[in-house]
Structure formats: C-alpha cells, structure tokens
Structure 1
C-alpha cells in the first residue's frame, strides 16, 4: 500500500496528531493544545473536498481518569478550534475502553476504522481512505481494516522505534514530522521522507 494523493477521506488519530499528547493523558480542556499547523492542515483537507474524521482511543474515560463532561469539554474546544481555522470533522469515533476490556473498537483492533468507513459510505472503497496516526496501534488498526496508514512524528513516543515497528506492518509506510507536513504531501507540494 502506498500513500494516497487526494484521498476521499483522511482518518486522524487525535492525541499526538491533532493536539500534543502526554503520557499522563489529556484530561481537561485546558490541557488540549493543538500541534502547530494541525488545524490549518485539517482546514486544507476540508477545502479540497476531502472528508476528515477522528478515530481515537480514549481509555482515560474507562479508567475513570476523566468524566464524560471533561471529555466533552475537550472535544468541544477541539471542534471549535478546527472550525475557526476553516476545517470540518465529518465523523468522530472514540473508544472509551481500557486495554483489558476486550472490546472490538480499541486500536489496534479495526472496529473504529471500519465503523468510520461505513459512516462515510466508503466501506467498499477502503483504498480511498488514508489513516494518519502517531503510533504502531494506529498502523495496525488501519492495516487490519484494509486502509493505508501514514505516520506523523509529533507524538510523545520514540518516533524512530515506532517507524521501524510500523514498517513490519506496512513496509512502504511514510513518516512526516507533523500533520501539516503530511497534508502537504497529500496535496502534492512536498516530497516523501
């Protein structure tokens, strides 16, 4: 699988891709801070007619680390910031479960990716979707759903280790510094790294 130029939809992980992540989780609206250029990149995709969605593990909910109200406040802040930048999110899918709950939605399982494709009417056109994430879980979920993945290295993990592990799942995976750089490639004005 190779990266798509002008896909019909771009599925984004949230933490580490749209906003800065933390090993201690993003637990309040005050902690939510966009990665520089990410909001503008989402707007750029939207203006090009590409549907943008969010597919995110949010186990802080299931672990009781934050309330649904706190999660909703983070989400509202993010959506407002995206809209103020000229972007639009067509669909949001999140998994509130912890890693031991054996759900079908938590990445690296493909449940949220598949649900998003159905919501967008792309279930039979998976080759028209691109998943951008910052972790091996994102790559594995995309691969299991039959969707091409791309990495950004703006998360808090060891970017080189994540890239090497991801190449075992998708050998031709491309990695970019951040969402703005990835979207520049998608839009045809940057070279692959």
Structure 2
C-alpha cells in the first residue's frame, strides 16, 4: 500500500507571514503581512498543507527563549485558525554558527540555507516536494528549498533589499504575498 503524498505551501515567517521588525517574539509586536490570510486560505482550500519554516537565531542569541517563541507560535496559529486555515506545523532553528549562547552555537543542518527543516516537514507530513511551493524573502530560503527538492520557489519582496543572486534561485519574484493569488500550475 502506497502512502498518499500531499502538497505543501512552505512559508518563511519573518518577512513573509509577518513584517520583519527583527527578533519578534511578542504578539503585540507581531504585524501580519497584508494578504497573508487570503493567500494561505486559497492554497489551504486547494489542498495544500501550510507549513512554516523559520530561522530563529534570537533564541540562540538569548534575546528570547524557546518558550517565548512557542507561545507566540501558538498565538499565530490561532490567528490563522480564526481565518479557517490550519497551520500543519511550524519548524524553527534556534542555532547560529558564530553568534549564539554555547548551547545554540553550532553549524547545523536545520538553519537555512541548509534544508533540514524542509526535509523534516516533507518526511513527517508525507509531502511531495515536486508539487510543493516555498515562499521566502531571502536567498537562504531559496537555497534551502532547492536543496530539499522543492521545485517551485517564490521570492517575495518584503521591503528588504533583495540580493540579485536570490532572484536567480527563484521561479517567481513577487512584490507581495498578495500577488500569489492562486496555486501555480505545477
């Protein structure tokens, strides 16, 4: 008996789901990007699992704790649920190779551009990477998706200056998550 494979909409968090104010860990400082709920609802209704994959070196740097991050994540998932969208999972990497407290100071396989979080999501949720999409705002998001075999990579401009090389790793470059209005023909 074969396992049914699912498609996923993988999202980076800071700069894609919320405005990147730098090391956000409190709900009153969490500002959703315009259009994130509409876009996610469209994909969710089309059968995509919505999965967030986020580097969180603020934990490793001691700016906030894993408990702080998990509390914010639960609050964020509730906001999506209030829009009839289930976040299937949130994967995070608290590590940093050279700017972290000793327990988080390491080169790991989960910090993007490494594909660890994506590969974990693919395995745990039976995701077909060839039918899935990664939406990110940085070169590292596009590189992680490419390494994980995700064939559709969308780079969204989030007010940050984009490295030109990031565009070379993306299939589509959009100004806003709102511009991703329907599932792409894969």
TM-score scaled by length of structure 1 = 0.82
Q: Does 1:121 align with 2:106?
A: no
Would you say how many aligned residue pairs link Structure 1 and Structure 2?
172
Q: CA deviation at 1:168?
A: 3.5
1:147 alignment counterpart? 150
Q: Mind listing any 5+ residue stretches in structure 2 that lack a counterpart?
A: 1-5, 99-105
CA distance in 2, matches of 1:40, 1:99: 36
Q: CA deviation at 1:73?
A: 2.4
Divergent runs of 4+, >6 A: none
CA distance in 1, matches of 2:118, 2:31: 24
CA distance in 2, matches of 1:99, 1:185: 37
Q: Which residue, out of 15, 31, 34, partners 1:36?
A: 34
Q: CA deviation at 1:186?
A: 2.4
Q: CA deviation at 1:37?
A: 1.2
Aligned with 1:186: secondary structure? coil
Q: Mind listing any 5+ residue stretches in structure 1 that lack a counterpart?
A: 1-6, 189-193
Alpha-carbon RMSD across the aligned residues, in angstroms, is: 1.8
